[in-house]
């Protein structure tokens, strides 16, 4: 079966993925397809390929760690397009296809003066993957601008629109990251952006602050473009460039712990910054499990730094010298070596603080 556009087969075999995952791991997919048109998607659905085989939807591969060659179908989401579906004097609702580049989308919105995602500049990946873990940074979360998304249930081939509530977003999580959500392909995402934006410059960490960056680079009143530029500067300084160093960003989530535990940590690590859990609900079956009154988020990177692990390297694996939460591949690491390194970090953290770090990255 061909894609229709060329004589190339729709599904290729033994396909190399090294250039398609930002860890740069030299792995292969037993079967591989690129979804770059509605026709191509329809063909794949008609053939019931997703029903017959184990599959993985791939965007830009910037939040996955392949544990070995993938013994199934890897389908790469490349559907493009964006359009305004609603507009008034205050806001615009933008509908964006899942294969669009997130970072380019942020630039596009800032260029038009539409606010709401400028702090999410330079987050690698596709628009379709953004809701999967509710991407967030520098004080903005995808959920804050999210309206709805369209996704195809690959088991039945039916299209469904999901509201914010149905996506069950929480900190670096959504329904789609859990087993019941893995059968969906996100095709379109709708975001509500403000035409009268209010900038959020409140973010600061142990080393960086948007306010400091703005004071050095712009004049008040600060615009969303100023904030966008400040975030780009901080990220360029602090994060590894995936074109040169393999990584998937923060490997672990910041732990959410009880207020008592956070207090205990602050006694052993003086000055440790703690964060509110925010409005993000940690719920199951409609029941809120975690909220601001009982729990706090603690910075795992800071705690790893206290352990002397920032910048530590074992063979080709390491924790990034400028950001301890980022696991990097210095070039020739194998999946097994990276997995072993991650477990070593997790165990050392547990021995020191009694907290088991959870993965943010999807190990497949």
- Just list the catalytic residues: 172, 250, 360
Pick from 24, 59, 116, 197: which binds ligand FAD (CB under 6 A)? 59
Site membership for ligand FAD, residue 64 (CB under 6 A): yes
CB atoms within 10 A of CB 275: 15
When the beta carbons of 38 and 260 are compared against ligand FAD, the nearer one is: 38
Q: How far is the CB of 10 from ligand FAD (least distance, A)?
A: 18
Site membership for ligand FAD, residue 327 (CB under 6 A): no
Q: How far is the CB of 341 from ligand FAD (least distance, A)?
A: 16
Pick from 115, 116, 124, 299: which binds ligand FAD (CB under 6 A)? 124
Pick from 41, 58, 92, 168: which binds ligand FAD (CB under 6 A)? 58
Site membership for ligand FAD, residue 3 (CB under 6 A): no
Pick from 247, 299, 300, 317: which binds ligand FAD (CB under 6 A)? 247
Q: How far is the CB of 221 from ligand FAD (least distance, A)?
A: 26
When the beta carbons of 56 and 355 are compared against ligand FAD, the nearer one is: 56
Pick from 129, 193, 231, 304: which binds ligand FAD (CB under 6 A)? 129
Site membership for ligand FAD, residue 73 (CB under 6 A): no
Buried b or exposed e, range 217-255, using 16+ CB within 10 angstroms: eeeeebbbbbbbbbbbbbbeeebbebeebbbbbbbbbbb
Q: Which of 39, 40, 48 is nearest to 10 (CA)?
A: 40
Q: Left if phi > 0, otherwise alpha if psi is -120 to 50, otherwise beta: which for 102?
A: alpha
Q: Quote the CA–CA distance of 114 and 122 in Å, as a whole number.
A: 17
Pick from 128, 139, 318, 335: which binds ligand FAD (CB under 6 A)? 128
When the beta carbons of 265 and 281 are compared against ligand FAD, the nearer one is: 281
Question: Tokens in use for 322?
Answer: 């400028």
Q: Quote the CA–CA distance of 226 and 214 in Å, as a whole number.
A: 7
Site membership for ligand FAD, residue 60 (CB under 6 A): yes
Site membership for ligand FAD, residue 239 (CB under 6 A): yes
Q: How far is the CB of 46 from ligand FAD (least distance, A)?
A: 19
Site membership for ligand FAD, residue 186 (CB under 6 A): yes
Strand ranges of the sheet holding 275-276, from the earlier edge strand across to the other edge: 256-258, 295-297, 275-276
Site membership for ligand FAD, residue 56 (CB under 6 A): yes
Instruction: Tell me whether the omega of the peptide bond preceding residue 221 falls within 30 degrees of 0, making it cis.
Output: yes
Which of the residues 80 through 99 are near ligand FAD (CB under 6 A)? 98
By the criterion CB under 6 A, which residues form the site for ligand FAD? 22, 56-64, 77, 98, 123-126, 128-130, 132-133, 135-137, 176, 184-186, 239-240, 242, 247-249, 362
């Amino acid at each position: 079966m061909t894609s229709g556009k060329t004589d190339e087969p729709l599904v290729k075999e033994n396909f190399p993925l090294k250039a398609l995952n930002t860890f740069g791991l030299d792995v292969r997919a037993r079967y591989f397809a690129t979804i770059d048109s509605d026709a191509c998607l329809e063909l794949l659905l008609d053939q019931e390929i997703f029903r017959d085989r184990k599959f993985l939807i791939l965007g830009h591969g910037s939040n996955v760690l392949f544990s070995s060659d993938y013994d199934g179908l890897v389908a790469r989401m490349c559907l493009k397009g964006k359009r305004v579906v609603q507009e008034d004097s205050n806001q615009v609702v933008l509908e964006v296809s899942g294969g669009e580049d997130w970072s380019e989308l942020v630039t596009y919105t800032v260029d038009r003066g539409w606010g709401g995602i400028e702090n999410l500049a330079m987050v690698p990946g596709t628009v379709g993957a953004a809701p999967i873990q509710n991407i967030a940074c520098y004080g903005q979360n995808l959920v804050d601008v999210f309206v709805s998304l369209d996704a195809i249930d690959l088991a039945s081939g039916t299209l469904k629109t999901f509201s914010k509530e149905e996506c069950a977003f929480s900190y670096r999580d959504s329904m789609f990251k859990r087993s019941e959500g893995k059968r969906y392909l996100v095709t379109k995402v709708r975001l509500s952006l403000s035409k009268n934006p209010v900038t959020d410059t409140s973010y600061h960490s142990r080393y960086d602050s948007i306010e400091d960056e703005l004071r050095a680079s712009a004049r008040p009143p600060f615009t969303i473009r100023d904030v966008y530029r400040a975030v780009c500067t901080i990220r360029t300084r602090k994060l590894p460039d995936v074109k040169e160093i393999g990584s998937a960003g923060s490997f672990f989530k910041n732990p959410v712990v009880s207020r008592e535990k956070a207090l205990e940590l602050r006694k052993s690590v003086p000055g440790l910054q703690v964060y509110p859990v925010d409005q993000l609900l940690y719920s199951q079956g409609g029941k809120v499990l975690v909220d601001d009154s009982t729990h706090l988020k603690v910075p795992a990177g800071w705690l790893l730094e206290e352990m002397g692990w920032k910048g530590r390297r074992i063979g080709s694996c390491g924790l990034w010298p400028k950001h301890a939460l980022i696991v990097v591949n210095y070039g020739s690491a194998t999946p097994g070596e990276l997995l072993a390194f991650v477990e070593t970090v997790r165990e050392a953290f547990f021995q020191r603080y009694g907290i088991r770090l959870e993965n943010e990255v999807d190990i497949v």
